[in-house]
């Protein structure tokens, strides 16, 4: 009987059927996640350059799509990005005079809400590192040099960090306090200027005819 088992084991080894646990599973998973992130954010990021405001909007849009697909309850994180603050689910009310059944329902709802809040808080803390990684060199330098950064980093306050990044992007950096106009604003200004020039030319032309 033992001879048969030995022969069977030897045959499995020769045929490549040896049973052992594969290694490197977590490594491959990490590499896949990194590849997904690289693909998701290719061509976007936070910058205090002249294209910064337009690039910011594209980055937030791409970030919303990424967290929706990669984070648990990612739609909650996307909503926070859209509102630029943490959005909490309102707690249900429990009447002073309630039945046992009503209290049980209230307790169930509260348990689910608190569970969702814990997931959201964890996701927002994880988002802090992603936001920092999306800053280019100069933007990251100015973010880290800001007086409020240490407190933001200590608590991993991603919404506070996002507000800081947006301020730097739309002012062109810490040394420029004048808000920039976005590209659509600039196009509207050029269009208005062209209309004004056209009206002036038309008035001059009519005046010459008289």
Q: Is there a contact between 60 and 39 (Cβ–Cβ < 8 Å)?
A: no
Q: Does residue 108 belong to any structural domain of this protein? A: yes
Number of domains in the chain: 1
Return d(Cα 50, Cα 33) in angstroms, integer: 31
Q: What pLDDT digit, counting tens, does each position of 70-114 carry? A: 999 999 999 999 999 999 999 999 998 999 999 999 999 999 999
Q: If DSSP codes are grouped into helix, strand and coil, which group holds residue 46? A: strand
Q: Does residue 160 belong to any structural domain of this protein? A: yes
Residue range(s) defining the domain that contains residue 46: 41-198
Q: Does residue 9 belong to any structural domain of this protein? A: no
Q: Mean pLDDT, to the nearest integer, of 5-33?
A: 51
Q: Does residue 210 belong to any structural domain of this protein? A: no
Q: Does residue 184 belong to any structural domain of this protein? A: yes
Q: Does residue 206 belong to any structural domain of this protein? A: no
Collect all residues with Cβ–Cβ distance below 8 Å to 54 and sequence separation of at least 6. Answer: 182, 183
- Pick the more confident residue, 51 or 190: 51
First-residue to last-residue Cα distance in the chain: 120
Q: What pLDDT digit, counting tens, does each position of 23-71 carry? A: 555 555 555 555 667 788 999 999 999 999 999 999 999 999 999 999 9
Return d(Cα 42, Cα 45) in angstroms, integer: 8
Q: What pLDDT digit, counting tens, does each position of 137-171 carry? A: 999 999 999 999 999 999 999 999 999 999 999 99
Q: Does residue 30 belong to any structural domain of this protein? A: no
Q: Does residue 7 belong to any structural domain of this protein? A: no
């Amino acid at each position: 009987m033992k001879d048969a088992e030995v022969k069977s084991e030897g045959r499995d080894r020769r045929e490549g059927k040896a049973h052992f646990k594969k290694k490197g599973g977590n490594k491959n998973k990490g590499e896949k996640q990194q590849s997904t992130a690289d693909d998701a954010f290719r061509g976007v990021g936070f910058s205090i350059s002249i294209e910064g405001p337009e690039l910011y909007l594209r980055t937030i849009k791409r970030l919303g799509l990424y967290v929706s697909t990669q984070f648990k309850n990612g739609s909650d994180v996307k909503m926070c990005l859209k509102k630029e603050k943490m959005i909490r689910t309102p707690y249900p009310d429990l009447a002073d005079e309630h039945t046992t059944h009503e209290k049980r329902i209230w307790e169930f709802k509260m348990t689910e809400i608190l569970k969702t809040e814990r997931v959201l808080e964890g996701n927002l803390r994880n988002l802090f590192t992603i936001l920092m990684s999306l800053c280019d060199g100069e933007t990251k330098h100015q973010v880290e040099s800001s007086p409020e950064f240490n407190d933001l980093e200590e608590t991993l306050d991603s919404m506070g960090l996002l507000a800081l990044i947006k301020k730097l992007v739309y002012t062109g950096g810490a040394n420029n306090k004048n808000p920039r106009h976005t590209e659509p604003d600039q196009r509207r200004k050029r269009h208005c200027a062209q209309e004004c020039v056209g009206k002036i030319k038309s008035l001059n032309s009519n005046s010459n005819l008289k």
